[in-house]
Structure 1
Amino acid sequence: MTRLMPKPENSMSSSDHRSAIVVGGGVVGTTTALALQRKGWMVTLIEAEDSPRAASWGNAGHIATEQAEPIASPAMVRGFAKPLFFRGGALALPPREIATWLPFSLRLLKAARPARYERAHQALAGLLAHAMPAWERHVAALGAPELLRPDGHVVLWESPDSAARGLANWQAADTGTARFRPLTEAELQDWRTRIRSPVAGGIRFEGSGQIADPTRLAETATARFVADGGIRIIARVEAVGDGEVRLSDNRRLAAAQIVVTAGVASAALLRPFGLKAPIIAERGYHLQTGPEVDWPADLPPVVFEDRSMIVTRFAGGLRAASIVEFARAEAKPDPAKWNRLRHHIAALGLPIGEDAKPWMGARPTLPDYLPAIGRVPGTRGVSYAFGHNHLGLTLAPITGELVSGMLDGETVAVPMEPFALERFV
């Protein structure tokens, strides 16, 4: 590993054993910085961009406590071909990106073997069991409990066959701390009045939830962090050393602890330490209207499972999100993905018009669909938390609590070994 130069400029004293730099300002990085700050750490948060554009802030806003089974599973392997984009599904494997997604896919297949999948399942379920309580603590500490809406979500099916299959699949699934019930006939009829497509069946989850306004969450978290003495720097981190970081403008900052929470970019930052992080940019797309939209503000997120699409009402508008595209993070967005969303929106008759704003972001995903959380071996002051795939928003507060507890030498809520990067060889 190449060491950074000594005597760096620093935003805090490197001799202060309670100083920390968090690299990456997505929801995981922000909540980790706040968790450390609440425990008395002097924290600098380094973000690559001033405006929140990470996948953390462009997702469906869903607190997905029901997703206790990793996506890398034997069932996923058996049904791999059905959801492919060219067949009308949401899974896109662009031919031009084969050098990116083929090696990742081979690792995913290994992770989906029954014994390894079961270990990952137990680890993820244990982590998710703490997700909602951690969110409740987080928004309370922000002084904005209304940002969390723990009101569950709805899943709808459009044909009797898909309703029967979908219900059977959920009945056989491990939904963690979330529970569901079939929608009543009155509830089904209500949804039939809202959408154009048929509604053959549906279920209502309890124990899941959503963020009321992702933009306000980002702004509130940033404001609280700065108000409580945190230092926020907009810059790109070029390299990480033991207690030091180097920025793209050659500034060097020092702290007792460095926490890498930079999403897809984390792999390159950790590579000099000999750690492998076979991560991919699992890109998602959305379209969103403005706040003046004919969709009740109190409706929970609704998953149109036949279309692999989730629709969420935020304070800022109505958002339709979908697509799992394996590609390089920096590859250009594919307009065909937004066109597919528009097709679904039109078929459902949703009030999302041509003026809806398009967005694309990269979920940082590891082959076993577990996050990476742990310490860098052989260092005194480098740790990491990234790779949360579809569950970055869901797991952000509990991740922050785990990292702050780990750095304080506490006994944390879940075993950390399953999330260490040493699992990849």
Structure 2
Amino acid sequence: MVVGGGIIGLCIAVALANKGVEVILIDPESGTAASWGNAGHIATEQIAPLASIATLRQVPRRYYGFGGAMDLPPSAWKTWAPFAGRFLRASGRQNFARGQDALRGLMAEALPAWRRLAAALKAEDVLREDGHLVLWEHAATAAAGARAWQSADIGSASVQPAAREDLDRLEALLGHRPPGALRFAGSAQIADLDRLRGRLKSAAMEAGVTFLSGTARLERSGRTVSATVEGRAVAPGARIVVACGIGSREIMGEAGHRAPLIAERGYHVRAQSGGWPSDLPPVVFEDRSMIVTGFEDSVQAASFVEFNSPDAPADARKWDRLERHVSALNLPMSPPFRRWMGARPTLPDYLPAIGVSSRVDGLAYAFGHQHLGLTLGPITAELIADALAGAPETVPLAPFDIDRFH
């Protein structure tokens, strides 16, 4: 049984069903899963946990009130203050180094796992391996940003100054030549998130997965745990995988685990393409902390890290700011804009929780992937399927054990 129908849950359901396991997938169908509103970027370059001294130093200039993309709403201080304390403790140099080593091993397998999944889905064209571009609008930030990226540990990805051809294309797009840009290789993009979701659901159904809509709860008795949906028992004695994003905090608590997740809410605006090149990879406008992605039938601009309750009303000012960015950059996005907000599930050390419970029998978990859920979905699914089958680990799971928070 898999609880959660986002990218992580669907990938796990498919991986288990393809191994001959009878799978029930339970999903509340809330429509706000971060999986289906992200930037579509397979971010293999992001192996440095955001719980770091470097991030702490950047807080003032990244604060939303000063024009940045990170927001700590004063009205939500009871939500984010406990997380902030845990984040500070996780940001020490030794913790950061351990986290980076753990993410490096996981990220090295991310793109190969995506290739395997795309082939299994018979949808190889859903994965575009064209890298991505990062640009700056000011000479000073371009010089500093390029130095930072070119000296950073980016794992299996690589980076170099954008070629003349890239700069020519950006100039044609923006109406001016950016003062600095980098081209990353070894990263990738999903061509269309809706098509990916549909293909995953179809593959799951073809493999015999049963879909059940509703909110799951766990009931624990000693070392035994069982699931109910809307108060009704479901598959007594079945093994359970918790992969329901921000909802995993409550359901893992019912099983006796502490999962100090917070909702890192992101926003996007999407519109029909007004001339965005179909073969242009994702473009990061680093001065604005915004990534723009061309999908098969639309263009999307995404940004913001808002620490808040997942159920709090959306902040329309953030959509307004995104639309102002689009206008200021003269991007070929044709209104009306479709507005979306979703909650990234984030743990204080910015590492996911992946593993099998040591406290109750028959319980596994996969959540807390923060900005990397899309990137790590297929490899997480492979690791969970192997762990439940008792197969050898291809990536050490000890750093991702949820008991690190006890």
TM-score normalized by structure 2? 0.97
Show structure 2 runs of 5+ residues with no match: none
- Cα 1:405–1:99 change in 2 (3 A) is same
1:281 to partner: Cα distance: 0.3
Write the letter of the residue equivalent to 1:244. Answer: S
1:246 to partner: Cα distance: 0.6
Q: Counterparts of 1:83 and 1:35 in 2: how far apart (Å)?
A: 39
Q: Counterparts of 1:155 and 1:34 in 2: how far apart (Å)?
A: 34
Of 349, 353, 366, the residue aligned with 1:385 is 366
Q: Counterparts of 1:377 and 1:37 in 2: how far apart (Å)?
A: 24
Runs of 4+ residues deviating >3 angstroms: 240-243
Q: Does 1:29 align with 2:9?
A: yes
Q: Counterparts of 1:197 and 1:107 in 2: how far apart (Å)?
A: 44
1:255 to partner: Cα distance: 4.6
Total equivalences in the alignment: 403
Write the letter of the residue equivalent to 2:9. Answer: G
Structure 2 residue aligned with 1:306? 287
Q: Does 1:366 align with 2:342?
A: no
Q: Which deviations, in whole Å up to 9, do the C-alpha atoms of 1:282-320 show, x marking residues without a partner?
A: 000000013x53111111000000000000000130000
Q: Does 1:96 align with 2:75?
A: yes
1:192 to partner: Cα distance: 1.6
- Cα 1:72–1:230 change in 2 (3 A) is same
Q: Does 1:75 align with 2:54?
A: yes
Structure 1 residue aligned with 2:102? 123
My pick for the range that moved more, 229-238 or 258-267, is 229-238
- Asked whether the 8 Å contact 2:225–2:255 carries over to 1, the reply is no
Q: Counterparts of 2:274 and 2:236 in 1: how far apart (Å)?
A: 48
Q: Does 1:152 align with 2:134?
A: no
Q: After superposition, where does 1:283-362 map in structure 2 within 5 Å? A: 283-290=265-272, 292-362=273-343
Structure 2 residue aligned with 1:275? 257
What SS is found at the alignment partner of 1:362?
Answer: strand
Q: Counterparts of 1:408 and 1:252 in 2: how far apart (Å)?
A: 22
Q: CA RMSD in A?
A: 1.3
1:197 to partner: Cα distance: 6.2
Show structure 1 runs of 5+ residues with no match: 1-20
What SS is found at the alignment partner of 2:59?
Answer: coil
Q: Counterparts of 1:284 and 1:237 in 2: how far apart (Å)?
A: 25
- Asked whether the 8 Å contact 1:273–1:376 carries over to 2, the reply is no
What SS is found at the alignment partner of 2:305?
Answer: strand
Q: Does 1:260 align with 2:239?
A: no
- Asked whether the 8 Å contact 1:288–1:356 carries over to 2, the reply is yes
1:196 to partner: Cα distance: 4.6
Write the letter of the residue equivalent to 1:344. Answer: H
1:240 to partner: Cα distance: 4.8
What SS is found at the alignment partner of 2:235?
Answer: strand
Structure 1 residue aligned with 2:191? 212
Q: Counterparts of 1:337 and 1:201 in 2: how far apart (Å)?
A: 26
- Cα 1:197–1:88 change in 2 (3 A) is farther
My pick for the range that moved more, 263-272 or 390-399, is 263-272
Structure 2 residue aligned with 1:15? none
My pick for the range that moved more, 371-380 or 170-179, is 371-380
Q: Which deviations, in whole Å up to 9, do the C-alpha atoms of 1:332-378 show, x marking residues without a partner?
A: 00000101101111111112244010000000000100000111223
Write the letter of the residue equivalent to 1:323. Answer: F
1:138 to partner: Cα distance: 0.5
Q: Counterparts of 1:257 and 1:293 in 2: how far apart (Å)?
A: 48
Of 38, 63, 86, the residue aligned with 2:18 is 38
Write the letter of the residue equivalent to 2:330. Answer: G
Structure 2 residue aligned with 1:193? 172
Q: Counterparts of 2:176 and 2:55 in 1: how far apart (Å)?
A: 27
- Asked whether the 8 Å contact 1:197–1:349 carries over to 2, the reply is no
Q: Counterparts of 2:218 and 2:334 in 1: how far apart (Å)?
A: 43
- Asked whether the 8 Å contact 2:79–2:309 carries over to 1, the reply is yes
Q: Which deviations, in whole Å up to 9, do the C-alpha atoms of 1:123-181 show, x marking residues without a partner?
A: 01110000000000001111111110011000001111011010111012111100011
Of 35, 41, 46, the residue aligned with 1:56 is 35
My pick for the range that moved more, 391-400 or 229-238, is 229-238
Q: Among all aligned residue pairs of Structure 1 and Structure 2, give the percentage whose two residues are the same amino acid.
A: 46
- Asked whether the 8 Å contact 2:150–2:160 carries over to 1, the reply is no
